[in-house]
Structure 1
Amino acid sequence: MSDTSLLPKNASDYELALEAVTARIGEVPVVMREVWNPDTCPYALLPWLASAASVDAWDANWTDAQKRAAIKASLGVHRRKGSIGAVKRALNAIGLGVKVQEWFNQDPPGDPYTFNLIFETDQTGIRFEDIDKILAVVDSAKSLRSHLNEIISIVISRNQPAFATASNSGHEVTVNQYADPIVVINELVVPVTEA
């Protein structure tokens, strides 16, 4: 027992060993404020930080950015838990941009206390593996009286149109074996007729 010990003289061996171990806690090279910050927390400690931050839906297969974003959004989700805003915030935190359409905003109005999720995706759409994740996040954030009616995926193609022109002056051009132009849309051939 050292001179600075706060233990009584009749302390057990276990208490003395515990005191010796905790006396060196200041030598641990981890800064606590870095561990409690989702941006600076070591990757291996993220599941424990998520548990401490009460992240309801967690997937070990998420990317590093998705895990950190879910931890950051946890407080905001819990503040609004049981609302559509919490559902949006939770899904946006893991990188799934979503619009929520409640029953009274549908045309015609849907069943009371139901809602649709509308995802705008690129050509790949939503994978089946992601649907289970989406449902887990929605169930943890929505109101108990509300029910998910439908997941609507809107596939958006973002491509720039390409135009080409050719001009020629002063020459006579003769076209042999001319064929009417056709347009192919999703493997459907549409003949182009002149008006």
Structure 2
Amino acid sequence: MSETSLLPKNASAFELALEATTARIGNVPVVVREVWNPDTCPYNLLPWLASASSVDTWQADWTDEQKRGAIKASLAVHQRKGTIGAVKRALAAIGLGVKVQEWFNQDPPGDPFTFKLIFETDQTGIQFDDIAVILELVDNAKNLRSHLTEIVPIVTTRNQPSMATASNSGTEVTVDQYLDPIVVINELVIPI
């Protein structure tokens, strides 16, 4: 038992061993600032940081960038929860740019308190597996009275102009002793 021990004199051997072990915990180098920052947090600790940051939707198969983006956007999504801005931020955090068209902005107007999501994507589009994640994100961020009626993907193909060239090479042949052709028809020779 050390002089600074808080254990009573009748402490068991297990309690003394536990005290000796935990006394060295302060020597373990853990930079708390790095662990609580989504940009510098070690990859294997991101699920715990997401839980502490109150991330509503989390997928283990997301990319590193998507996971860190969801953690970064969590506070802003919770501050605006129940608004279209929260829906946009939640989807933008995992790399999905979206436009939200509420019922009164549709032509013709939609049913009251409904909205559409309009995704502008490249040629890859939206994967079928991502639809469930999108619906979960939207459901967690939208207000309770509004309902998603349609997801409209707008697929854009961007291509650079291509250029082609063609070249031709050949050889020049010179005939020194040229003979006029002779045509033979039914054993009759006709010079041309």
Q: Under TM normalisation by the shorter chain, which class is it?
A: 0.7 to 0.9
Q: Distance in 2 between matches of 1:149 and 1:52?
A: 32
Q: How does 1:104-143 map to 2 (within 5 A)?
A: 104-143=104-143
Q: Distance in 2 between matches of 1:13 and 1:142?
A: 56
1:155 maps to amino acid: V
- Which string of whole-angstrom CA distances, capped at 9 and with x for unpartnered residues, describes residues 61-83 of structure 1? 00001100100000001101111
Report the Cα offset of residue 160 of structure 1: 3.5
Q: Distance in 1 between matches of 2:20 and 2:112?
A: 63
Q: How does 1:23-172 map to 2 (within 5 A)?
A: 23-161=23-161
- Which string of whole-angstrom CA distances, capped at 9 and with x for unpartnered residues, describes residues 111-169 of structure 1? 111110000011221110111111111111111111101000011121234578xxxxx
Q: Distance in 1 between matches of 2:11 and 2:90?
A: 51
Secondary structure (helix, strand or coil) at the match of 1:128 reads: coil
Aligned residues: 165
With normalisation by structure 1, the TM-score equals: 0.78
Structure 1 residues 13 and 101, CA gap change in structure 2 (3 angstroms): farther
Report the Cα offset of residue 11 of structure 1: 3.7
Name which one, 1 or 2, has greater alpha-carbon Rg. Answer: 2
RMSD: 1.9
Q: Distance in 2 between matches of 1:17 and 1:104?
A: 69
Q: Distance in 2 between matches of 1:139 and 1:14?
A: 50
Q: How does 1:153-192 map to 2 (within 5 A)?
A: 153-161=153-161
- Which string of whole-angstrom CA distances, capped at 9 and with x for unpartnered residues, describes residues 21-45 of structure 1? 3211112122111111111111001
Identity %: 79
Gaps of 5+ in 2: 165-192
Gaps of 5+ in 1: 165-195
2:174 match = none
Report the Cα offset of residue 5 of structure 1: 1.4
Q: Distance in 2 between matches of 1:121 and 1:141?
A: 22
Structure 1 residues 13 and 105, CA gap change in structure 2 (3 angstroms): farther
- Which string of whole-angstrom CA distances, capped at 9 and with x for unpartnered residues, describes residues 67-107 of structure 1? 00100000001101111111100000000001111111111
